[in-house]
Amino acid sequence: MALTVFILRLAVCILAFPMYLLDFLGLWNWICKQWFPYFLARFTVMYNKQMESKKQELFSNLREFTGPSGKLSLLELGCGTGANFKFYPSGCQVTCVDPNPSFEKFLIKSIAQNRHLQFERFIVAAGENMHQVATGSMDVVVCTLVLCSVKNQEQILQEVCRVLRPGGAFYFMEHVADKPSTWNYFWQQVLDPVWHLLFDGCNLTRESWKALKQARFSKLKLQHLQAPLSWELVRPHIYGYAVK
């Protein structure tokens, strides 16, 4: 099986040679950073439509983590186009972090469409180093479809724990690797290298639940799900929340 995966990977990589050449020349990363927000703006419309009930379920108890100030301070990690904004409760104070500055104009549009929120600021930074966010300053951190593409999941989760106040919560919804016995997992392995390059560092075969279980949370509520999505490769999901 491993040999079959290797041969098919090689064939796919040959077909994707122009992308690898642009990457070698140092051009692909710039191209990807420019076009990816436009792709994500379209993808998240479809994703939200197909996952709306699950997102509503996931975020249904956000108000329970409102801090002493009486207002919910929320940090969205890898905010993208602001696709989660409509699921947040009224009056929520939202801070956004994303390493790609090209998302800002999409965020401005999302903010205009979600006047029930109080937008604080957009920080251009990687989640592994959010030094601009004060320690213990957030009631909630949200991360959806982000752990698949970060460089260091453990470091990200350490930063999440740092910025959360005691008793604060980390909400997540992520696509993950399928069960090893499935054909879907087979094709995830085959396509992973090209997928990683095409979709701005996204990985199909990450077992993100392992990092969450090893992180320093006092409580973890995690569920596995076969999401009702059109793209079978990203149907395996985990979602839930963890309390610091």
pLDDT tens for residues 101-132? 988 888 889 999 999 999 999 999 988 999 99
What's the CATH number where 222 sits? 3.40.50.150
Percent of the chain whose predicted confidence (pLDDT) is above 70:
100
Domain that holds residue 68: 1-243
| 20 against 88, higher pLDDT | 88
Q: What is the pLDDT of residue 211?
A: 96
How many Cβ atoms are within 10 Å of 211's Cβ, its own excluded?
Answer: 16
For range 164-181, the mean pLDDT? 96
- State the pTM of this model: 0.94
Q: What is the pLDDT of residue 19?
A: 87
Q: What is the pLDDT of residue 152?
A: 94
Q: What is the pLDDT of residue 114?
A: 94
For range 20-31, the mean pLDDT? 87
Whether 1 shows a pLDDT value over 80: the answer reads no
What is the average pLDDT score of the chain? 93
State phi, psi for 155 to the nearest 5 degrees: -70, -40
> What is the dihedral angle through the alpha carbons of 40, 45, 47, 49, rounded to the nearest 10 degrees?
180
Give the number of domains in the chain. 1
Percent of the chain whose predicted confidence (pLDDT) is above 90:
70
Residue-wise pLDDT for 43-97, tens only, equals 998 999 999 999 999 999 999 999 888 899 999 999 989 999 999 999 999 999 9
